[in-house]
Structure 1
Amino acid sequence: MRIFCPTIVLILSILSICTHAAPVNQNLDSRENLPAWIQGEVDNPAFFTQKDRQAYAKKLWGVKPGAKLQVAGSHNFAIYSLTGYGLRFKSSSLIMKVFNAVDNAAIGEAKALRAVGDLVASGTVSALGSKPAIIMKKKAGQPLQETEAYKNAREVVREMMRNQTFTLMCDKMAIVATKKYVLHGDNHPSHSNTLVTLDGNTVKSVELVDYGPPKTYFLNKSVTKAEVCVYCGCEYPSTKRHLWEQEFPYVSPPSSPIKSPKLGM
C-alpha cells in the first residue's frame, strides 16, 4: 500500500503535537487541573526578585535556639522553639525553621511568609553552623488527632470534628488567598500543618502553618473567596474530605472508655 508524502507529514505533525503538549497541572489532591487564578508554586524562581534572593544574606543576631520541635523534613534541617530573639517579640511567640541550604524552596517559603505577614526575620544562625533560617510567628493550637478530646471521642464524634476542621480550614484558606494572594494547599486536616483550637468536642478555629512547597501557590489578584471555597470543597466537606484522606489517611487513635463530657459518647 502506498502512502503519499503529505499523509506522512500530517501523521508526524500530529504525533509531534501530542508529544510536546504541555503537562497538566495538578491541584491540592492531585486529581484536578489547576484553575487559572493560580500562578504557580512558591519555589518557582520566576517569582523571585533580587530582594527575595538575598533573604538569607544577613546574620541573625541574638538568636537563642530552644528545644527542637521537629526533626528534619523534606525541605528543612529542623524546627526549634526560641529562648531569645531581639526586643520586639516574646521568644515564646516565635519559632524558627532551619534549612540545609539556600535553595528555591527556602527562598520561596520566606517570600510566602512575608506575603501573609508571618515572617519575622530570615538569615543565617551562627549557633547552628551558619545555617539559613526563618523566624516566624508561632500559631496557636495543635493537630486535631493529637488533642485529648479527639482521642477520647467515639468515631461518630471524630467524624464530626474532622468535618468541622475541614470546613474551617477551607474558610481560612480562602481568607488568606483573597487577602494575601497565597494559597496554602498542604493543609489536609490530618496534617500537622492545620492546627485546631477546641471548645470541648467543637472545633472553634484553625490556623495554617508551613508555607513552603509543595502545594503552596502564588495567586492572581482577581481570585475570589467563592472560587477558593469551591476549589477546596467547603460546600461538600464530608465528600471532599474523604477524597483528601485517600491521599493523607488519618491514623485514628484507639477509642477511650471515657465518655465525651458534651455529647455523652
Structure 2
Amino acid sequence: MVAPHKLLRIVLTGLCLLPGLTVQAGPQDVTPVISIIIDDLGYQYKAGLRALRLNGNITYAFLPQAPFTRQLAERAHRQQKEIMLHLPMESENENRLGPGALTQCMSETEFKSRVRTSLAAVPHVSGFNNHMGSHLTKSPRLMSWLMQAMMFRDDLYFVDSRTTLETVAQQEAERRQIATTRRDIFLDYERDASIVADQLAELVRHARRHGSALAIGHPYSETLSTLEAWLPSLQQQGIKLVPVSKLIHLRQQGSIATWQLSSFHSPRVAKNSKP
C-alpha cells in the first residue's frame, strides 16, 4: 500500500503534467494577508489623529484640499504609514464633492490638470483611489484620462473603491500598466459598530478563502473603536496586515494563489474569480 503522503505527491506530479494546469502554493502554505484603507481623512483633525494611532500597517487616504490633509499626512509619514490620495469624483446622486473634484463637464486639459494639482496637495503619496465616483468611474474615456494623468509618476498604484458595479477604472489602470487592485469589503456602509464587526469578520473569511482581502473604512468613531479592539487579535487569528502596496505586489506576483486552471474553467468563471 502506498503511504498517504507519497500518494499525494504522485497525484500532484500527475496534475502538473496536464496541459494548461499549474500548481502553486495553497492557502495552507501562506499566511492570509489583509489591507485596510481609512478614507476621507483631512477634514476632522481629532478623528484623523485617532485614526493614525491605530496599530499596524493601516493605509491612509487623504482628500486633496482638506484643511488638515498636509499636516496629518506628514504625521502619518513620520510614523512610516502608507499614504494615498483620495480623489473626489462625480457621483450619480450628486453628493457634494468638495474642492478638487473631477467631473464629466471638464475638458481633457482641465481634467488632467486637476488630477496633478490634487496629487501635489498630498505629500508622500504612494497610490490613489476614488472618493465617490459612481458616475465618473463608468466612463472609459474619463478613466483613461485619469490614468494618463498619473503616468508621469511610475511608482503610483490605483485602488478601485468600486462605488458602482459598472466601474471600468481598474480595467483602465491595467490597460495603462498601472499597478492596481480593487476593494473587497466596505467596513462601514452604515455607522454601526456591530456592522463594522461583522464586516471585519467577513474580511478575515475573504482573506482565508482567497489569500488576501482589502477593506475600506472611514474615521467614524464607531469604526475606529471597533478597529482599536480588533487589530490586536490579528496575530492570534493568523492574519497579516500589510500596506496596500504590498498586497498589490503579492497579488500581481501570484504569491496569493492556490490553483490556476487556465484551460479548465470558462471565461465567465475566470473573470468572476478575480479578487
**With structure 2 as the length reference, what TM-score do the two structures score?**
0.26
Higher relative contact order (CA 8 A, sep 6+): 2
Q: Which has the larger radius of gyration?
A: 1
Query: What's the TM-score, normalizing by structure 1?
Result: 0.26
